[in-house]
């Protein structure tokens, strides 16, 4: 069964990975690596009283099928990181991003995604790989978002090291 990835930035098609137990849910593949977590940061303009505000929404990358509980837990961690770090705009960055959203029609769409995949090395040791994508319009509106994304991935790398005992994972 193929799982629809949302088309937010360059994203490979998702395919199921057989689990060790038939009753367990399968992790989707990103390329040839099992994806254990992944979210998209969507933003659009919403009217709140007399003001227009940016409304942020976090959506799992895989939305068209049931996923393992572990993936849901990692997605919660990713959402928390995005809320605290990625959307922590400096005042001028928030205003420029607001303008960029308005210029693009104001509709809700994906501006950033982040995912965690696993891979085994030649010795059979499992490592995580954390990848992300930032919409070029967001980068122009707030160039500092690249630094915040790098910081979020470094924090996530430490969390993954604790969870997996991964000594040599990739960022």
- What average pLDDT does this structure show over 70-95? 93
Report pLDDT digits (tens) over 105-125: 989 999 999 999 998 888 988
Q: What is the pLDDT of residue 48?
A: 87
The pLDDT of residue 57 is above 90:
yes
Query: Any idea which of 26-30, 130-134, 146-150, 165-169 has the lowest mean pLDDT?
Result: 165-169
For residues 40 and 66, the model is more confident at 40
Q: pTM value?
A: 0.80
Q: What is the pLDDT of residue 8?
A: 63
Closest-CA residue to 63 (of 133, 110, 22, 105)? 110
Q: What is the pLDDT of residue 165?
A: 65
Q: What is the pLDDT of residue 23?
A: 39
Closest-CA residue to 119 (of 152, 162, 164)? 164
The pLDDT of residue 61 is above 50:
yes
> Which tokens in the block code for residue 102?
């308005």
Q: What is the pLDDT of residue 94?
A: 92
For residues 169 and 151, the model is more confident at 151
- Percent of residues, the chain, with pLDDT higher than 90: 55
Q: Which residues contact 105 (CB under 8 A, 6 or more apart)?
A: none
For residues 129 and 28, the model is more confident at 129
The pLDDT of residue 163 is above 80:
no
Query: Any idea which of 64-73, 105-114, 145-154, 162-171 has the lowest mean pLDDT?
Result: 162-171
């Amino acid at each position: 069964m193929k799982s629809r990835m949302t088309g937010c930035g360059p994203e490979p098609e998702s395919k199921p990975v057989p689990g060790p137990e038939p009753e367990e849910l399968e992790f989707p593949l990103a390329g040839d690596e099992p994806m254990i977590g992944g979210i998209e940061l969507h933003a659009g303009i919403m009217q709140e009283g007399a003001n227009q505000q940016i409304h942020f929404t976090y959506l799992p990358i895989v939305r068209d099928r049931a996923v393992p509980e572990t993936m849901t837990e990692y997605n919660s961690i990713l959402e928390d990181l995005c809320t605290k770090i990625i959307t922590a705009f400096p005042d001028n960055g928030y205003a420029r991003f607001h303008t960029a959203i308005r210029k693009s029609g104001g509709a809700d769409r994906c501006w950033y995604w982040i995912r965690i995949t696993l891979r085994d090395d030649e010795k059979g040791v499992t490592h995580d790989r954390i990848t992300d994508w930032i919409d070029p319009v967001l980068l122009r509106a707030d160039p500092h978002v690249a630094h915040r994304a790098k910081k979020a991935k470094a924090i996530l790398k430490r969390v993954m090291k604790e969870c997996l005992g991964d000594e040599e994972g990739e960022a």
